[in-house]
């Protein structure tokens, strides 16, 4: 074979190789999150939209079912050097991440990858939860919320009540009237939902959850939930439960509080504003419902409620290309149109002033199905944050929440005296806090 024929053959082979060669591979990176059900589906939609919006990166979004599982799985994966690039960590896991040293601050990430973000645009009450004491934002605010009170307007009108219940006294009277009128479940009550029934109750009544300003003042904080108004509140829950006015609805019963509400089996309930979208889509045909800020006891000077939800933490130990992908994803979800879509399909509040203002200007909150969601922001900003309403900074807070959950169940189902149940929960919670303090001996909160 002549040189020219060899060259021609080689050229043909090369051309065929180029024609059949795959395009340059995208950088793939993982995002672990702690949501399930409808909210998980919406995150999957977001991830698909991001992947379709550009050709350089592929985000792989994996549900870990719930926040606590995601926190624990993320920690275990980091120790095994198998961590995702991005992890959604709830408000309760903030301290654990802050002191872990396992993250790359979001402001640093975005600046190093050429993104100019107006961090002042983020609602201060949201951003400060995931920031240092000097205001450095450590994680990207993502899905933020607060607790709300949902009610069936037709059922309440049937017993002569118009408008939204504003006090717990009103809730009790309405519940009694509903029971007398033949409604089997006046109020759906989930004892695993300690977030709304305990934490948010404590905040709007300006009650301490722990010393040191709910832990902001140092790792030596001790819980105080067994000394304040929550003692009486848990006693009231027990009374309402024993009288059949609060009916337990949870995963354990096979009929969650949200499912019972949207199917009109229960006429009042409490949940996150993030569930507003789900309730709107799933409410049975002909059902009329509305939402309000959480009730307070008469004579209470209402305080702002707590920010709930989570932020996105960027974990150390990943490649520069993966960090570029994470930064591109954060820039994508920060776009006004994307932020509006996220608030629309879920119920989570917009996390920026400009995003909220744009939605107000469009009349987003003026009518159904979105009317009422603005009350979440009203609740969060009802007063300037106090020592007990700016948030909670306790290490391994998920374990403390579990102690409250167990105490509530012990009171309801096993007739354990309220004070004893809360004292026992406080003892165990303080043991959790002392172990966490010992783990990070000598360290202070940033």
The CATH number of the domain where 89 resides is what?
A: 3.40.190.10
Query: Residue 398 domain-assigned?
Result: yes
Residue in the block written with tokens 């599982």: 69
Structure confidence at residue 17 (pLDDT) = 39
Among candidate residues 165, 166, 178, 195, the one with its CA nearest the CA of residue 257: 195
- The residues facing 210 across adjacent strands are 223
With 0-12 / 13-18 / 19 or more C-beta atoms within 10 angstroms meaning exposed / middle / buried, residue 58 is middle
Contact 106, 314 (CB under 8 A): yes
Q: What are phi and psi of 293, to 5 degrees?
A: -65, 155
Residues 271 and 349 in one domain: no
Residues 90 and 41 in one domain: yes
C-alpha to C-alpha distance for 333 and 325, rounded to whole angstroms = 12
Structure confidence at residue 353 (pLDDT) = 87
Query: Residue 385 domain-assigned?
Result: no
Structure confidence at residue 22 (pLDDT) = 43
Query: Residue 10 domain-assigned?
Result: no
3-state secondary structure the chain: CCHHHHHHHHHHHHHHHHHHCCCCCCEEEEEEECCCHHHHHHHHHHHHHHHHHCCCEEEEEEECCCHHHHHHHHHHHHHCCCCCCEEEEEHHHHHHHHHHCCEECHHHHHHHCCCCCCHHHECHHHHHHHECCCCCECCEEEEEECEEEEEEHHHHHHCCCCCCCCEHHHHHHHHHHHHHCCCCCCEEECCCCHHHHHHHHHHHCCCCCEHHHHCCCCCCCCECCCCCHHHHHHHHHHHHHHCCCEEECCHHHCCCHHHHHHCCCCCEEEEEHHHHHHHHHHCCCCCCEEEEECCECCCCCCCCCCCEEEEEEEECCCCHHHHHHHHHHHHHHCCHHHHHHHHHHCCCECCEHHHHHHHHHCCCCCCCCCCCCHHHHHHHCCCCCCCCCCCCCCCCHHHHHHHHHHHHHHHHHHCCCHHHHHHHHHHHHHHHHHHHHHHCCCCCCC
Q: 21-48 burial, b for 16+ CB within 10 Å, e for fewer?
A: eeeeeebebbbbbbbeebbbebbeebbe
Residues 177 and 286 in one domain: yes
Structure confidence at residue 440 (pLDDT) = 94
- Among 336, 354, 380, the domain boundary falls at 380
Residues 180 and 241 in one domain: yes
Residues 216 and 328 in one domain: no
Domain that holds residue 433: 147-301+391-439
Question: In which residue ranges of the chain is pLDDT below 70?
Answer: 1-25
Tokens of 138: 């450590």
- Among 380, 399, 426, the domain boundary falls at 380
Query: Residue 8 domain-assigned?
Result: no
C-alpha to C-alpha distance for 332 and 339, rounded to whole angstroms = 9
Among candidate residues 292, 305, 271, the one with its CA nearest the CA of residue 200: 305
pTM exceeds 0.85: yes
Residues 348 and 360 in one domain: yes
Among candidate residues 263, 270, 262, 253, the one with its CA nearest the CA of residue 175: 270
Query: Residue 434 domain-assigned?
Result: yes
**CA dihedral sign, ordered 45, 46, 51, 53:** positive
Structure confidence at residue 25 (pLDDT) = 58
Residues 123 and 138 in one domain: yes
Contact 44, 345 (CB under 8 A): no
CA distance readout (Å), 170 to 32, 162, 174, 395: 42, 11, 6, 37
Tokens of 403: 């102690």
Query: Residue 6 domain-assigned?
Result: no
Residues 6+ apart with CB under 8 A from 77: 32, 83, 84
Tokens of 148: 């709300």
Residues 125 and 159 in one domain: no
Indicate left, alpha or beta for 160 from its phi (over 0: left) and psi (-120 to 50: alpha). left
Residue in the block written with tokens 């009802």: 382
Residues 292 and 205 in one domain: yes
CA distance readout (Å), 274 to 36, 204, 205: 12, 19, 22
Tokens of 248: 């337990």
- Among 359, 380, 401, the domain boundary falls at 380
Percentage of the chain exceeding pLDDT 90: 78
Residues 211 and 284 in one domain: yes
Say how far residue 321 (Cα) sits from the centre of its chain: 29
Residues 46 and 141 in one domain: yes
Query: Residue 3 domain-assigned?
Result: no
CA distance readout (Å), 334 to 116, 327, 338: 11, 11, 7
Considering its fold, how many domains does the chain have in total? 2
Residues 192 and 275 in one domain: yes
Query: Residue 414 domain-assigned?
Result: yes
């Amino acid at each position: 074979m002549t040189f020219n024929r060899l060259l021609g053959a080689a050229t043909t082979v090369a051309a065929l190789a180029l024609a059949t060669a795959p395009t340059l591979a995208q950088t793939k990176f993982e995002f672990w999150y702690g949501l399930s059900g409808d909210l998980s589906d919406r995150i999957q939609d977001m991830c698909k939209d991001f992947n379709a919006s550009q050709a350089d990166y592929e985000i792989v979004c994996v549900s870990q079912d719930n926040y606590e599982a995601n926190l624990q799985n993320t920690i275990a994966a980091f120790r095994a050097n198998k961590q995702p690039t991005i992890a959604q960590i709830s408000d309760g896991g903030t301290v654990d991440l802050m002191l872990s040293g396992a993250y790359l601050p979001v402001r640093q990430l975005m600046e190093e990858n050429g993104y100019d973000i107006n961090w002042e645009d983020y609602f201060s009450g949201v951003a400060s939860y995931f920031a240092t004491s000097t205001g450095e934002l450590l994680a990207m605010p993502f899905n933020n919320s607060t607790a709300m009170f949902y009610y069936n307007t037709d059922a309440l009108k049937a017993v002569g009540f118009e408008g939204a219940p504003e006090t717990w006294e009103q809730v009790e009277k309405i519940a009694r009237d509903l029971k007398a009128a033949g409604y089997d479940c006046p109020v759906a009550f989930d004892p695993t939902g300690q977030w709304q029934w305990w934490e948010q109750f404590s905040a709007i009544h300006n009650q301490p959850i722990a010393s040191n300003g709910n832990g902001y003042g140092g790792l030596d904080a001790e819980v105080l939930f067994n000394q304040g108004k929550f003692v009486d509140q848990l006693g009231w829950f027990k009374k309402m439960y024993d009288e059949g006015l609060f009916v337990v609805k949870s995963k354990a019963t096979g009929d969650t509080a949200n499912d019972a509400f949207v199917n009109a089996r229960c006429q009042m309930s409490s949940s996150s504003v993030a569930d507003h979208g789900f309730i709107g889509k799933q409410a049975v045909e002909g059902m009329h419902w509305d939402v309000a800020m959480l009730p307070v006891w008469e004579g209470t000077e209402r305080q702002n409620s707590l920010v709930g939800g989570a932020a996105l933490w960027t974990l150390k130990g990943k490649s520069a290309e993966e960090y570029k992908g994470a930064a591109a994803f954060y820039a994508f979800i920060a776009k006004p149109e994307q932020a509006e879509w996220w608030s629309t399909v879920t119920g989570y509040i917009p996390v920026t002033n400009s995003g909220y203002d744009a939605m107000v200007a469009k009349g987003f909150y003026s009518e159904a199905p979105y009317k009422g969601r603005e009350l979440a922001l009203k609740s969060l900003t009802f007063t300037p944050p106090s020592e007990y309403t700016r948030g909670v900074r306790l290490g391994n807070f998920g374990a403390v929440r579990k102690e409250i959950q167990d105490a509530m169940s012990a009171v309801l189902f096993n007739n354990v005296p309220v004070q004893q149940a809360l004292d026992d929960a406080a003892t165990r919670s303080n043991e959790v806090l002392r172990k966490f303090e010992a783990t990070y001996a000598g360290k202070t909160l940033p």
